[in-house]
Structure formats: structure tokens, C-alpha cells
Chains A and B, each alone.
Chain A
Amino acid sequence: MSHYVPSRDLIARVAAGETAATARLITRAEKGLPEARDALAEIYKRAGRAHVVGITGVPGSGKSTLVAVLAGKLRTRGVKVAIVAIDPSSPYSGGAILGDRVRMTELATDPGVYIRSMATHGVVGGMARAALDVVDILDVAGFPIVILETVGVGQDEVDIARASHTTIVVSAPGLGDYIQAIKAGILEIADIHVVSKCDRSDANFTLRDLKASLMPSPASGPSPWIPPIIGTSAVKHEGFDELIEAIDRHRAVAFDPDAGNDRRRHIAGFRLLKTAENLLLDRFAASVDNRAAPLIALLARREADPYSLATELLEPTNAEDKSR
């Protein structure tokens, strides 16, 4: 019934900004189809112009709402915006309910906005596996800014900072005190801090705690960039001009041939290692398919220990690698 268009043939249509072709190539990247690998290689080479802005924060901090208003403001300045919104998959069924669009209805029919919902499908770290391929496709499709919104994260899912040029961490009032703010982890990765829901009276405490905890540390040395702390209210549309100004300023740093060089190398390094890790996991999954069950039974009966069994499970894989 359906006519399969080869992924290579989609590239020109993606580059011409055709929505249906862009959406289809994204689907194939998500599926990890071997057929699409060539096309994605070509996409990677062509990409590199878009400013990738990662947005992360705890569940309920207001990420989707912030993204919706931010994208709307960018549109009034004539900037095309792509949004990749990631939501969690069920650990039991593997299914997901992707509801970010509910908060983005004002952007629904604007041809200058592309929104894609992705499920994590069991990947930890706050991002979906193909998220970075998707960003490249949207880059080639002509979006100068790609906003990557992570799942609601906990305290140490920091992959987003290794994948985006600019990382925005959203904090909301009422979710934690000074001690939460000085803990290591997610707050450290921010290039820009946003305190959302600043129409609430207790937002001042959150702003104050963040400012106190983010005083430049003597150990950090001279840095070309000091993360600003910006209060926003999506209800009142306040703070967004300041936020866009900060994003623009950070873009200049991230894309600077010298200052941004480290960051780009980090991003490339993360991409390389993550891709290798995924390939290894795929090979491992394929090779242990049938052999794990008897070992699991032994382990459950405590007739053997996890280290010995895991070593045994890995051995044939090692042999395969050597024979390659």
C-alpha cells in the first residue's frame, strides 16, 4: 500500500525545508534503520549551523511552557524555531504519552515552527537516543535555532550539556532550598539559569538562593562566561527579552572560533562515544539474547554470583570482537 522512498532521496527535500520529508527522515533516524545511515552521514556533514539550545529541569519546573513562550517570542522576531520535546517512556510497557504539544497550542499552525515529540525508550540521561540525529536533520532543514527540551530530570542527568551549545536549567519556586541549590549536579551545567513562575511570591527566595550558591568559586578560575540568572513568568510574558538576549550573547561565545572550540570538541567527543556505546549495546543485546535466561535463573537461586556470571556472559562477545 505505501510507497517506500529511499532515505537518500529525502535529503534534498529536507534541505528545501519540506516538512513531510523532514518528519519522515526523523522517523527513520529514530528507528535506527540501517537503510538511513548513509543519509544521516550526509546530514551530519551538512549540519553545524544551527544554535542548539538545551532546556532541562525537574518535572513540573515549567520547561514546556517556557519553551512555548520563548519560541513565540523568537517568532515575533522572525526567527524560525524547531523544538524537540522529550518525554519518558513507560518502564513496563515501553509506551509513552507525549503531551508537550498541549502547552504549545499557540504555535500549532505556524509554518515557521516545527515541533517533534520523542520518547526516551529506556535511555537514561534525559535524552532520547536519536535526539542528536534529529537536531542535525532540523539544522539542515533550515532552522537556525533548535530547542532540545529534556524529560523532567533529577539531579545528575546532565547529557544535555554535552550535546547543546547553550544549556538552560529551569528552576521553579517551592521545589528546594539553599542546600538543594549548592549540591553538585544539574545546576552546574547551566550556561543560563531560569527561575520560572516568577509571578509567584516565593520566587524571590529561589532567585536569592540560586544567586548565593552560584557565586564564582575560587577554584573555577577566570571564565569568559558567567551564567546569568533570569526570572521569567510565562503567565505575564516577563523576562523573555532578557532571556533571548542572554541566549544570543551565549551563542556568540559558543560559535566563536576560539572561545567555542573547546565546547564543540566536547560535543563531538560526546557524540562519538555515545554512538560507539549504542553500537556496543546493540551488539551485546543481540549476542546475549538467549544465553542470559539460564544465568539469571542461577543468579536468582544464589547458586552463582553476579560478577562471575556477567563475565561469562561477556566472554563470547569478546571472542567475536577479536575475530573481527
Chain B
Amino acid sequence: MTQPIRILLAKVGLDGHDRGIKVVARALRDAGMDVIYTGLHRTPEEVVTAAVQEDVDILGVSLLSGVQMTVFPKILKLLANQGAGDMIVVAGGVMPDEDVAALKAMGVAEVMLQETPPQAIIDTLKRLVVERGPR
């Protein structure tokens, strides 16, 4: 039996805009994925705890508030501490190009900015899971 890709989508911090992440959640569901959504205003600790308990293939964090250089290092460190350093982490939202490069350098697998078509997001996520291999 093949199991769908499991992904947790999260909004972290004071950013209250969830229209985009809900559109993405719906698109991923329609692509056959199991999407866990945790709601607005989560802390990095809450998101990482949820992702580890749910053992998702991918943790996707959407940020429109500019705090990516604070949030992602924290998330990556917490994941490693909780024995889930191999989890695929992706970022979405609006952020400057130099931050994108820095995030990828620290271990974020992919950064998908505004205007990324849903199909491109789906293809990217599927590719990342295939590249990771069985677990």
C-alpha cells in the first residue's frame, strides 16, 4: 500500500495572513497528500513538536512577516535536538533573495516565494521526498 506524502503546514509568529497557506493546503490535498494544518500564531517549539509527533515527511513554514532569519535557525535546531534532523524543511512566503540563499545554506531544503504556481510547489515537494529515499 503506498502512503501519501505527509506534510505539516504552519504559520509561525505574529503573522496573521493565512489565505495563502490555506490555498496551498488545498492544492496539496488535491494532489493526494495528507496535510496537517496547525493554525495561526504558533511558536517554533509548537510547530516542531507537532512535526515530530506526526512524523511528517515535510515541514512547511509560511512567513509573510520578515522574521525568517530568526525562525528557521530555531526550527532546524529544535528538530535536531528532538531526533528529527532528517526532516525536510521548506519555506514559503515573501522574503529577500539574500535571505533565500542564507536559508538554503543553513539547511532549508527549498524556499518557494510568492507567485510560485501550485503545480511547481507540488512537483518540488514530490522531488524532495524521492531524493530523501525511504525512511
User: Using a CB–CB distance below 8 Å, which chain A residues touch chain B?
Assistant: 1-4, 18-21, 23-24, 26-27, 30-32, 89-90, 92-99, 101-102, 105, 108-109, 114-117, 119, 121, 282
Contact B52 A19 (CB under 8 A): yes
- Known: A24-B135, A95-B29. Contact between A18 and B83, CB under 8 A? yes
Complex alpha-carbon distance, A96 and B29, angstroms: 5
Contact B46 A105 (CB under 8 A): yes
Q: How far is the CB of A201 from chain B (nearest CB, A)?
A: 29
Q: How far is the CB of A142 from chain B (nearest CB, A)?
A: 14
Q: How far is the CB of B119 from chain A (nearest CB, A)?
A: 14
- Known: A95-B4, A108-B50. Contact between A26 and B135, CB under 8 A? no
Q: Does B28 contact A (CB under 8 A)?
A: yes
Contact A23 B46 (CB under 8 A): no
Q: Which interface class (under 10, 10 to 19, 20 to 34, 35 or more) fits B?
A: 35 or more
- Scoring B residues 10 to 36 as 1 if CB is less than 8 Å from chain A, else 0, what string do you get? 000000000000000110111111111
Complex alpha-carbon distance, A1 and B130, angstroms: 10
Stretch at the interface among B37-45, B61-69, B91-99, B100-108: B37-45
Contact A95 B28 (CB under 8 A): yes
- Known: A20-B82, A108-B49, A115-B53. Contact between A102 and B35, CB under 8 A? no
| Chain A interface, DSSP helix/strand/loop, else mixed | mixed
Complex alpha-carbon distance, A24 and B42, angstroms: 23
Contact B133 A2 (CB under 8 A): yes
Contacts of A27 in B (CB 8 A): 3, 6, 55, 135
Q: How far is the CB of A20 from chain B (nearest CB, A)?
A: 4
Complex alpha-carbon distance, A29 and B79, angstroms: 23
Q: How far is the CB of A28 from chain B (nearest CB, A)?
A: 9
Contacts of B46 in A (CB 8 A): 105, 108-109
A/B interface sample: 24 pairs, CB < 8 A: A1-B132, A2-B86, A2-B133, A23-B54, A27-B6, A89-B34, A93-B30, A93-B31, A93-B32, A95-B29, A96-B4, A97-B37, A98-B35, A98-B37, A99-B37, A101-B36, A101-B37, A101-B38, A108-B42, A108-B49, A115-B54, A116-B53, A119-B4, A121-B4
Contact B132 A2 (CB under 8 A): yes
Interface centre among A3, A4, A108, A115 (most CB of B within 10 A): A108
Q: How far is the CB of B97 from chain A (nearest CB, A)?
A: 26
Contact A1 B133 (CB under 8 A): yes
Q: How far is the CB of A14 from chain B (nearest CB, A)?
A: 12
